A and B are shown apart, each in its own frame.
Chain A
Amino acid sequence: MSTTLQNESRPAQEEAVRFVAITPHADAWETEDAYFLAVEMPGVDDAHSDVTLEKNILGITGETAVSTFEGLRPAAGDYRPRQYRRSFRLPDGIDGAALDASMKNGVLTVRMPKSEQALRRKIAVRQA
């Protein structure tokens, strides 16, 4: 018997209530020209993560599959599929059309470039 054979299935829409809701940990920082957000969502791939921007609220969701292993039964821990969900109120001066999100090793990273207007304003302050 192999324990490396893994089967993943996802609950149907009507079974969404079975997801465990989790508020994921996150880091946020800024550089000279952009804001960055890194959100921990282990088990989530890019096809099952979602990033939305409505006004200045950035919404992030991600869902995991159900892990099952041939011949094995759950023994400890909460093995239900998880739904990560969190929202952030963004500062002014972000170019909402240029957001870029990528998922790697269970961490969703969102790059949010500062708007031209914000950068110009910053340069003007430096020259004063």
Chain B
Amino acid sequence: MVSHRLRRFLEPQVRGPWELFDELQRDVSSLFNAGMGGDRVRIWSSDDSAVIEVDAPGIDPDACDISIKDALVSVTTAAAPDSPEAATRVHLRERSRSDLRQQVQLPFPLDASRTEAVYDRGILRISLHRREDSKPARIAVKAN
């Protein structure tokens, strides 16, 4: 709540007719939202596959960069577009203007060739599979 007010103070150009009701609501909401969910990254997994979801609303999916090194997945999403040039005045400016980089360490090495990524409704969804040579081998026990 303090940082929000500080930011408003430091960016006087965002002040406008929107702010009073909105700011009050944000302050009240932040009391209830503190520490509650809303994670940008979510992970589902099994012993040999995983899905990572990254919130990335309004980005250009062609500008996303996904790289895999062993068990480490690095995702960089380009910043959301700025306000249009036709804007004569900016009232609120909360959306991120910087590229976001997320890194996820999975418990097994990954097969990069089987990785798929889909961008849907502002969510980047990455499907990953464990590298075959890292799967535990089953040893048949022979009985004498």
Question: A residues touching B (Cβ–Cβ < 8 Å)?
Answer: 1, 3-4, 6, 20-23, 25-32, 35-38, 40-45, 57, 67-69, 71-80, 82, 86-92, 104-107
Report Cα–Cα, A44/B55, bound state, in Å: 11
Q: Could you list some 21 contacts between A and B, CB below 8 A?
A: A3-B128, A28-B92, A30-B91, A36-B84, A38-B95, A67-B42, A67-B44, A68-B44, A74-B42, A75-B44, A77-B41, A77-B42, A86-B22, A87-B21, A87-B25, A91-B18, A105-B119, A105-B121, A106-B57, A106-B121, A106-B122
Cβ of B21: which chain A residues have Cβ within 8 Å of it?
Answer: 57, 87-89
Contact B58 A40 (CB under 8 A): yes
Contact B36 A41 (CB under 8 A): no
Chain B residues with a Cβ closer than 8 Å to the other chain, count: 55
Q: Cβ of B63 < 8 Å from any Cβ of A?
A: no
Cβ of A29: which chain B residues have Cβ within 8 Å of it?
Answer: 83-84, 87, 89-92
> A65 → chain B, closest Cβ, in Å?
9
- From known contacts A23-B25, A105-B58, infer whether A31 and B42 are also in contact, taking CB-CB under 8 Å: no
> A27 → chain B, closest Cβ, in Å?
5
Report Cα–Cα, A28/B128, bound state, in Å: 37
Bitwise interface map of B from 7 to 38 toward A, beta carbon under 8 Å scored 1, else 0: 00000000011101110011001101100111
> B11 → chain A, closest Cβ, in Å?
12
> A115 → chain B, closest Cβ, in Å?
14
In the complex, residue of chain A having the shortest beta-carbon distance to the beta carbon of B42: A77
The list of the 9 closest CB pairs from A to B, nearest first, reads: A106-B122, A77-B42, A78-B37, A106-B57, A20-B37, A42-B122, A89-B21, A91-B17, A72-B44
Beyond known contacts A78-B38, A88-B22: 19 more, CB 8 A cutoff: A3-B44, A20-B36, A20-B38, A22-B38, A23-B29, A29-B89, A31-B84, A32-B86, A32-B88, A37-B92, A40-B122, A41-B122, A68-B44, A86-B22, A89-B20, A89-B22, A105-B57, A105-B119, A107-B57
